[in-house]
Amino acid sequence: MSAAKHDAAQQIEELRAELRHHEHLYYVLDTPEIPDAAYDARMNDLKRLEAEHPELLTPDSPTQRVGGKPAEGFQKAAHSRPMLSLDNAYNEGELRDWDRRVRTRLLGPGSAAVAYEIDESKEDDDEESDRALNAEVSARAEQVHVEYTAELKLDGLSVALRYEPVEDGGSRLALGLTRGDGQIGEDVTTNIRTIRSVPLAISATAIEKAGLPRSFEVRGEVVMPLKGFELLNKEREEQGLSPAVNPRNAAAGTLRTLEPSIVSNRRLVFFAYFLLVEGEYFAVGQSATLDALTALGFRVNPHRERVESVDEMLRFIEKAESQRASLGYEIDGVVLKVDSHAAQQRLGYTGRAPRWAIAYKFAAQTAETAIESITWQVGRTGKVTPVGEVAPVFVGGTTVSRVTLHNWDFIERLGGLRPSDIVEIERGGDVIPKVVRVVKQSENAPIALIAACPECGSQLERTEGEVDWRCVNSDCPAKLRETLLHFGARGVMNIEGLGEAVVAQLLDRGLVHHVADLYALTEEQLVGLERFAEKSAKALLAEIEGSKSAGLARVLMGLGIRFVGERTAQLLAEEFGSVEALMAATVEELERVEEVGPRISESIRAFFARPANVQLVESLKAAGVDMTAEKKQRSTELAGKTFVLTGTLPTLSREEAKQKIEAAGGKVSAAVSKKTSYVVAGEEAGSKLDKARQLGIQELNEAELLALLAGTTPV
Ligand code: IVH
């Protein structure tokens, strides 16, 4: 190796180690030490170095989280041991029964066979002796000392992650499987790789310290945090799609998406709870397992305790219920596991579930309350949404006083709503609860649909075939308020501090008439606002200034073009590279963009056909807002090149490799000929490789293939 290359290799390894360390702090421990921008800068350094030295690229580099797409559908693979489910307990009595069964079985052979249920119809002497025996067994069972681990029951989906050895002595994530039917799961490795709390590689040192062989498996739960869930639904709504019903479904849907960049944006979280080697539990017990997983760098849910009695379990359950509303992700109960693996082995399994664990399920989060009134909220697009104001009621860990009513059709389907109607409400994964049904109708007159916008008084309109009523007045103050809030929101222009109170004041004082006016605000103007001192004014101005470089995709989202959510905005920005090019694009050109069909292209054309919107773009540009993006072009370098795949690649499946090559413009062929440009060889490559060597065709390993592809995508 040349000295220069040696330096680069060392620098790359150092950067990777540093990035992994910060990813661990941020995504696993939730205690970041450096600002996001510093992380991004190091990531960019690494990307640059890897581009300069493609031969040094490895699939477990932090730059490689979002890789190729799984082709059509997912491959299936068998689990190392079945992924079972859990038996449930719904109340204290059922929990006590389970604990007693566990203790009795642990007493030794025969004990469990004793009848607990005494047959009351039997009136002979047997009854007496049964009772005596039972009493004796119970008394002895009570003396058995059992330790349990109490964990939260995360409302997500379970996955199995397999790690396999790599040359440097560590291990690398090789396979991620969904539960599937418990025996066979789906290979969702490419999507799992995008989850930041899943380590892509584990160092040799960490593995040695844990005393773990280098092939092992980690099981746990993938969940979608509530914040991500809300963002997802907001975006789905903007795209005219129906909202996901709860975070679990959304997480499951996301993991099965055939687009890793989407998975990557949704910020799923993985919590680990089992560690297996060759299908057997590693470590002496559940607590030790969780400690080992933490030491290996996995995210382990911090809410766990060792408990030794049902009373302690109940205390843990109570605590979990009180924490439930502030966790930031959904849980639907508590899981109790006998801690010792030796004891687990003695307890064994029923057909579908272990005897050594049980899920204590929280009671359904429903409640009854009285409707007080309906208020109407005007959104950014003028859509008017009814919201039910209800008598405050405690449900699912929080006090609820507002419920969603979706739209007027929904109210009609409930049979109308009257003040003082008693309704059943349900708090699922969604943060705002929904009305399930009217339990008792009151004598009052039904609440009517409003005819005029509650904020500006103009007549509401409804387009044929749509359910929503809208305020079409473009000067409606509510629309401007919502537009400003959306523009500054997280994930859009990211203007921290531009919240409801500030926006309301800016509008009241006539300081802002459209989003571009934000860029003309001065410190004097802001200092005049309520609860605004020089420091907060300066901070807000700095945020506004910073948003100028958010880039075209963010601006497009911020403009609020109907149906243009995060992903579409991103694709449009990459395709057109500037707002001018986008504005000049014809319907055909727009529809050449992936995922853009007639509905979206129409909406974009209609948006830029309005002079007020063109004016807005001009003002933003004049204010210095960057409306350009790096254009993504498929390099033509690989066009016409033919690849032959042979043998097993370390991380990519055949299908994934093929997909990646084709995405870069190359072709994959089954047989080697003089026309073959490259042969990609993995382990146990066969006669194809021999033939390629005879013909002098260039050989690539997986890392070299990835490097070749990486060098060809962004321009
Ligand atoms: S242990 C043998 N621990 O609940 C299966 N499961 O209802 C043992 N779940 O399929 C699973 N949190 O998807 C375990 N802390 C936790 C869990 C948990 C959520 C899920 C898991 C399982 C389902 C069973």
Model pLDDT for residues 433-449, shown as the tens digit of each residue: 889 899 999 999 999 99
Per-residue pLDDT averaged across 258-271, rounded?
A: 74
What distance in angstroms lies between residue 362's CA and the mean position of ligand 1's atoms?
14
pLDDT at residue 671 tops 60? yes
Cβ–ligand 1 distance for 60 under 6 Å, the answer no
Cβ–ligand 1 distance for 86 under 6 Å, the answer yes
Is 432 domain-assigned? yes
Per-residue pLDDT averaged across 245-250, rounded?
A: 82
Which of 43-48's residues contact partners 24+ apart within 8 Å by CB, and which partners? 43/19, 45/15, 46/12, 46/15, 46/16, 46/19
Nearest CA to ligand 1 atom 17: 153
- For residues 570 and 264, what is the distance between their CA atoms, to the nearest angstrom? 14
What distance in angstroms lies between residue 301's CA and the mean position of ligand 1's atoms?
13
Rounded to two decimals, the pTM is: 0.59
Give the domain-ending residue among 413, 436, 461: 461
Cβ–ligand 1 distance for 153 under 6 Å, the answer yes
The pLDDT confidence band at residue 117, using thresholds 50, 70 and 90, is: very low
Is 92 domain-assigned? no
Q: Are residues 683 and 655 in the same domain?
A: yes
- Is 153 assigned a catalytic role? yes
Is 434 domain-assigned? yes
Cβ–ligand 1 distance for 376 under 6 Å, the answer no
Residue of 273, 336, 347 to test ligand 1 pocket, by largest number of atoms within 8 Å of CB: 273
Cβ–ligand 1 distance for 541 under 6 Å, the answer no
Of 412 and 31, the one with more pLDDT: 412
Give the domain-ending residue among 575, 594, 622: 622
Per-residue pLDDT averaged across 584-592, rounded?
A: 90
SS3 569: helix
Is 271 domain-assigned? yes
Q: What is the pLDDT of residues 528-580, one digit of tens each?
A: 888 888 888 999 999 999 999 999 999 999 998 988 888 789 889 988 999 99
What distance in angstroms lies between residue 178's CA and the mean position of ligand 1's atoms?
13
Q: Are residues 344 and 223 in the same domain?
A: yes
Which of 69, 76, 122, 153 does the annotation list as catalytic? 153
Q: Are residues 486 and 603 in the same domain?
A: no
Per-residue pLDDT averaged across 460-470, rounded?
A: 89
Q: What is the pLDDT of residues 279-336, one digit of tens each?
A: 899 989 999 999 999 999 999 999 999 999 999 999 999 999 889 888 999 998 999 9
Q: What is the pLDDT of residues 501-518, one digit of tens each?
A: 899 999 999 999 999 999
- For residues 270 and 255, what is the distance between their CA atoms, to the nearest angstrom? 12
Cβ–ligand 1 distance for 354 under 6 Å, the answer yes
- Reference 451, options 404, 403, 408, 390; nearest CA is 408
Q: What percentage of the chain carries pLDDT values higher than 90? A: 50
Q: Are residues 579 and 617 in the same domain?
A: yes
Residue 393 phi, psi dihedral angles, 5° rounding: -145, 145
Nearest CA to ligand 1 atom 7: 86
Cβ–ligand 1 distance for 114 under 6 Å, the answer no
Residue of 86, 183, 327 to test ligand 1 pocket, by largest number of atoms within 8 Å of CB: 86
Cβ–ligand 1 distance for 367 under 6 Å, the answer no
What distance in angstroms lies between residue 503's CA and the mean position of ligand 1's atoms?
44
Is 110 domain-assigned? no
The pLDDT confidence band at residue 605, using thresholds 50, 70 and 90, is: very high
Ligand 1, residue 151: give the atom nearest the CA: 15
Is 239 domain-assigned? yes
Ligand 1, residue 179: give the atom nearest the CA: 10
In this prediction, residue 128 carries a pLDDT of 66
Cβ–ligand 1 distance for 332 under 6 Å, the answer no
Q: What is the pLDDT of residues 377-433, one digit of tens each?
A: 998 889 999 999 999 887 765 678 899 898 999 999 999 999 999 999 987 645 578
What distance in angstroms lies between residue 490's CA and the mean position of ligand 1's atoms?
33
CATH of the domain at 223: 3.30.470.30
Q: Structurally, how many domains does the chain consist of? A: 6
Cβ–ligand 1 distance for 84 under 6 Å, the answer yes
**Window from 211-220, 388-397, 468-477 with minimum mean pLDDT:** 388-397
Give the domain-ending residue among 497, 530, 549: 549
Cβ–ligand 1 distance for 104 under 6 Å, the answer no
Per-residue pLDDT averaged across 130-147, rounded?
A: 80
Residue 597's domain comprises 552-622
In this prediction, residue 666 carries a pLDDT of 82
Q: Are residues 560 and 537 in the same domain?
A: no
In this prediction, residue 114 carries a pLDDT of 43
What distance in angstroms lies between residue 86's CA and the mean position of ligand 1's atoms?
7
Q: What is the pLDDT of residues 51-64, one digit of tens each?
A: 888 888 888 888 88
Is 326 domain-assigned? yes
Q: Are residues 226 and 186 in the same domain?
A: yes
CATH of the domain at 663: 3.40.50.10190
Q: Are residues 235 and 331 in the same domain?
A: yes
CB count, 10 Å around CB of 433? 24
Which of 112-121, 271-280, 625-634 ranks highest by mean pLDDT? 271-280
Ligand 1, residue 357: give the atom nearest the CA: 8
Which of 104-113, 348-357, 397-406, 436-445 ranks highest by mean pLDDT? 436-445
pLDDT at residue 72 tops 60? no
Q: Are residues 270 and 238 in the same domain?
A: yes
| CA-to-CA separations, 118 to 106, 131, 465, 580, in angstroms, rounded | 22, 7, 65, 83
pLDDT at residue 152 tops 70? yes
The pLDDT confidence band at residue 129, using thresholds 50, 70 and 90, is: low
In this prediction, residue 100 carries a pLDDT of 93
CATH of the domain at 608: 1.10.150.20
Q: Which residues contact 678 (CB under 8 A, 6 or more apart)?
A: 641, 642, 643, 644, 697, 698, 699, 700, 705, 708
Are 70 and 656 in contact by the 8 Å Cβ rule? The answer is: yes
CATH of the domain at 379: 2.40.50.140
Q: Are residues 345 and 196 in the same domain?
A: yes
Mean pLDDT of the chain: 86
Residue 539 phi, psi dihedral angles, 5° rounding: -65, -45
The pLDDT confidence band at residue 668, using thresholds 50, 70 and 90, is: confident
Per-residue pLDDT averaged across 648-664, rounded?
A: 80
In this prediction, residue 237 carries a pLDDT of 74
- For residues 16 and 284, what is the distance between their CA atoms, to the nearest angstrom? 33
- For residues 49 and 59, what is the distance between their CA atoms, to the nearest angstrom? 15
Is 136 domain-assigned? no
**Window from 105-119, 171-185, 666-680 with minimum mean pLDDT:** 105-119
Beta strands per DSSP E along 224-365: 269-277, 280-281, 304-307, 331-338, 357-361
Q: Are residues 179 and 327 in the same domain?
A: yes
In this prediction, residue 169 carries a pLDDT of 84
Nearest CA to ligand 1 atom 23: 85
Q: Are residues 382 and 351 in the same domain?
A: no
Q: Are residues 286 and 348 in the same domain?
A: yes
